[in-house]
Structure 1
Amino acid sequence: MKKIIVVLMIIVVNITYSQKIEFLERYDTLENTKEKLFVFLCPETDLTNSKLVAKVKATGNINDVFLLFQTIKNEVQKIGSNSFKLEKFTKVGDENAELIVSTYFCEDSVFENNYKNIPKNKIYIFGDQNIRAKNTQNFKINREEHEIESGKFKEFNLKIGEQLKINKGGGRTGKTYWINGEEDKIATFFSFTGIGLIESTHKLETEMGIINIKSDQFNIIDPNFGLMLLKIFDPQK
């Protein structure tokens, strides 16, 4: 399925999580978004025939980028958005950050073209989303030792026909995941902290031929959030 990915001063405050969302631009739309998609739009994707629904800014704790993303998603889907483009992520002081995205309603043809721009046969490992922390996590790729720091990601290539083994921890508490390289297979995104999890009913599980892992050590990230996170986190060498 190709849909995977990937100024009105109206302010809504999420009291429970202290998130603030601000509509910088907002346009009326009668589009129906029954599928509840929220697809990441690659910078190269032509949006000429897409409808801009809103430009939105979420402000909140810098240590929870996923909550900023989810706050925006929850609001804009109500007004017809089914996709988004990252505009800016900015640190505000020591504890907060601003996430700005433009959200759109796109037809299937746009998603088809967008799919062509999504990385294929790549694996991305993300560190803790607490950008201010200096946590380092260790893992293995095909028995080779690696480490990932907070606020960073590592990229690995997956050859078609190759099976790659990812391992976190050892003994009975360790977790291992195998992934196969396949023709035109979109990138897979992992973390060891639970950020941006694919929901258990998400259609991507079947399309990607994967299962959803929910543990304290090994998690698959929603690719749409993962693709955005590649623009926010720094690559680790």
Structure 2
Amino acid sequence: MKILLVEDDAALADGLQHSLAEIGFDVTLATTFSFADSALRTQAYDLMILDLGLPDGDGRDLLSQLRQRRSTLPVLILTARDGLNDRIGGLQLGADDYMIKPFELRELEARVQALLRRSLGGHGRTLALGPLRLDSFQHQFHLQEAPLLLPSREHGVLEALMLQAGRVVSKERIAQRLAVGAGELADNAIEVYVHRLRRRLSPAGIRIRTLRGLGYLLELDGDAASRAES
């Protein structure tokens, strides 16, 4: 899962990047307001950790702009501003949690995972659709109890679909996830990845349906759904 870390303290940012990567997160670091704002407008993330004191702006303004765009991205404020009014103000602007520096790393990790569980509708660490399972924090798939090893971009497509299983995911949303650190995508690249995934998943009763003009839907096919309900 992808985290945007907005933090201008180099030592702290480096430590957090390393620690979060060790437990399976893909972390993008933004050290300025402008970089963070650009990243939020062009890429897809699952959570943002936000420092308020940035060299070229106030993190509260970044949060306010994010919520004005009706984004529901979970946001954890991580700051040295420990006043009661600061905490209340941050939450009223739309933050989902508020932590004060200095902090315990284990507590931060626990809060991050709690926010992600909440954003996934209360699911725990493992998501399942019939015989397909995803460890959402370790980015590991299993199909019919066996590890499903995929090239990185196919994995990214399937993860984007699995996190929204049963709901339509636009091609633009998938492209945003794949574009983080991966460069430009050819116009038909996502169709190619989806085609390859269909060949892998269809024997197990997992279907990726194309809804023209809308995107893709990951679901069980009819027979597999009947078996799952019985």
Per the normalisation by structure 1, the TM-score is 0.25
Q: Which has the higher contact order (CA 8 A, sep 6+)?
A: 1
Larger strand percent: 1
Greater radius of gyration (CA): 2
Per the normalisation by structure 2, the TM-score is 0.26
